[in-house]
Chain A
Amino acid sequence: MDRAEPFVFWVFALPLIASAAGVLVARNPVSAAISLVVAFFFLAGIYVLLAAHLLAFLQVLVYAGAIMVLFLFVIMLLTTADDVFARTRLKLMQAAGVLGAAGVVAVVVTAIRQAGPMPLSAPGAEFGTVRAVGRVLYTQYLLPLEATSLLLLVAIVGAVVVAKARI
């Protein structure tokens, strides 16, 4: 495991960065969405490497499954021919924004480097399993969990109210 982990990390990290950048360079919203689905799959691989098995499963199920299907439906409902071929001109403000974003990344990466080595603890056999996460969710985080169910209900009703032409 120790020997293989750096290798597997890069096997997942490089395609992850490449497909995330693909979202930026894609000119068609559909190819941007597909690129994002690929990025979510590789990110799920990184989660498995971090011993977060339940979260990796939810990543594929909720993100790559449910949310991206919603995105694709909306893209196919709304995208017109002009939007597909519209070239985004990089204006001065946008160029400055890109520079600022790159600066943010540079600052954060420098801070991480200066924080010194952060060795990973060896995960126990139960770490990140449904049993371990579920036990925390249904004891310590019971109230936030119930609040989340309420939030999802409100989001469903709100989405219908906002998107419907006439109630």
Chain B
Amino acid sequence: MIDATQYLALAAVLFGIGLIGVVAKRNILVVFMCVELMLNAANLTFLAFARRFGNVNGHAIAFFVIAVAAAEAAVGLAIVIAVFRSRGTLNVDEVSSLKN
């Protein structure tokens, strides 16, 4: 018999893979994809607990997470295009003018 801990552990592993990508990858597009992966891990946690308690509210929250992720992807990719236009690079290490 399967229980919710397995789904939660799977979500933790997915989140960890996304976190490693955000920390270690240098291509800004791949970093973005890893952020999407982390959002999906959060969604999986919501749905696992929704199934655990038989409560459909978790599905509504996951729905909103998907909508926010779509908005985030649109604006984020627009920012990537703007950065590429002004800097000509996709490397996150070379975009550091806010740091200095």
Contact = CB atoms under 8 A, between A and B. Distances in A.
Q: Do A and B bind each other?
A: yes
Of the listed residues B25, B32, B68, the one surrounded by the most CB atoms of chain A closer than 10 A to its CB is: B25
B23 to A, nearest CB: 3
B100 to A, nearest CB: 18
Question: Looking at chain A's contact residues, is the secondary structure mostly helix, strand, loop, or mixed?
Answer: helix
Interface string A11-45: 00100110011011010010011001001100100
Interface residues of B, number: 69
Contacts of A58: 63, 66
B19 to A, nearest CB: 4
Interface in B8-42: 8-10, 12-21, 23-27, 29-30, 32-34, 36-37, 40
A40 to B, nearest CB: 7
Interface of B: 1-10, 12-21, 23-27, 29-30, 32-34, 36-37, 40, 43-44, 47-48, 50-54, 56-57, 59-60, 62-64, 66-75, 77-82, 84-85, 90-91
